Structures are given as C-alpha cells and as structure tokens.
Amino acid sequence: MPMTIRCYQCGKVYDAVLTSEETHEFPCPACGKVEVYNLAALREKAEKIIRQRTRGR
Ligand SMILES: [Zn+2]
C-alpha cells in the first residue's frame, strides 16, 4: 500500500510503502526524523470516518 508521508518536522513530502499491518518506521530523507505509521491504526481511523458518514440511515 503506497502512501505519501509528510514530515511534520521539516514539511518534506516523500513516498513510502506499507507492506504489512505491522508498525513501519520511515526516516525522513531530508532531516532524518523518523515517522511511525501503523496500517491497522490507519484503517481503524478510516473505518471510523466511514461509519460517521453512513450513520443516520
Ligand atoms: Zn523531515
């Protein structure tokens, strides 16, 4: 699952690929700040948004 990551420290945008549901650590190519992404957490967040959108029917 390719995705675009934005470093919140320096603002650099770079591509990263999540290959499993484990936690991934991506060091920023510009400043070296490590961003941590967890696919399961992202999915949970997405499902929550979907639930909110479909609520009320
Ligand atoms: Zn950075």
Q: Tell me: the pLDDT tens digits for 7-49?
A: 989 999 999 888 887 888 999 999 999 988 887 877 888 899 9
Q: How far is the CA of 34 from the centre of ligand 1 (A)?
A: 8
Yes or no: say if 25 and 53 are a contact pair by the CB < 8 Å rule. Answer: no
Give pTM, 2 decimals. Answer: 0.60
Question: Per the structure, how many domains does the chain have?
Answer: 1
Q: How far is the CA of 12 from the centre of ligand 1 (A)?
A: 5
Q: How far is the CA of 55 from the centre of ligand 1 (A)?
A: 38
Show Cβ contacts of residue 6 under 8 Å, excluding neighbours closer than 6 positions. Answer: 12, 13
Position 57 scores a pLDDT of 65
- Residue 15: give the domain boundaries: 2-54
Report the length, in residues, of the chain. Answer: 57
The 10 Å Cβ neighbour count of residue 1 is 11
Higher pLDDT, 53 or 42: 53
Question: Is residue 51 over pLDDT 80?
Answer: yes
